[in-house]
Amino acid sequence: MIVATLFFAASLAPSLVPRGALIQGVLSGFSIAAGYGIGLGLAAIWRFFQLPKVTFRFLPHLVGAGCIAVAAFTLTRANGWQNDLRALVDMPPVETLRPISVVLLTAAVFLLILWLSRGVRLTARSFRNWLGRFLPGPQAATIGIVLTALLAWNLANGVLVRGAISVLDATYALSLIHI
């Protein structure tokens, strides 16, 4: 949660180009997902090395409150940062409800990525369990991961590429109508 919050805060930091709420929400959603994944990886390494667990009773509540405070502070400052950038390039200021839009879009993107990643993990486990009937554990796990990667690659490549081409075709067709 800490790493994901830091990635969220970094995604809201000022850049060289002003961002709309849609772009900011997608960028922040991907940033939180990346931070969450890195945090899970660090926790797995911690468990692998059998390092001691922190047993302070109120630590999860303190960490949660700290993460909410950092996210809220950065989110409230983001409008000011965007307005400063927009003033430099003669753009109108952002709307006051932008933080709500950003949070909702960020949550939607993060949950979609989380759902997809858990689906990939479930698929890999299913392949491993099915192959485990015929092969030793490490071989079944390795082949299961390779099969899952191939399946995900083919699905993403086919669906995403076709979808992107369809959107580009529709956009081009609309631009021809308006000429």
What is the predicted pLDDT for the residue at 177?
64
Cα gap 86→102, rounded to integer Å: 17
Q: To 5 degrees, how large is the angle CA 63–CA 65–CA 68? A: 110
Look up the pTM and report it: 0.79
Structure tokens at 106: 């960020």
Q: What is the pLDDT of residues 118-163, one digit of tens each?
A: 999 999 999 999 999 999 999 999 999 999 999 888 888 777 777 7
pLDDT for residue 46 is more than 90: yes
Q: Is 4 exposed, middle or buried (0-12, 13-18, 19+ CB in 10 A)?
A: buried
What is the predicted pLDDT for the residue at 33?
97
Q: What is the pLDDT of residues 159-172, one digit of tens each?
A: 777 777 887 787 77
Q: For the chain, what are the domain ranges? A: 2-120, 132-179
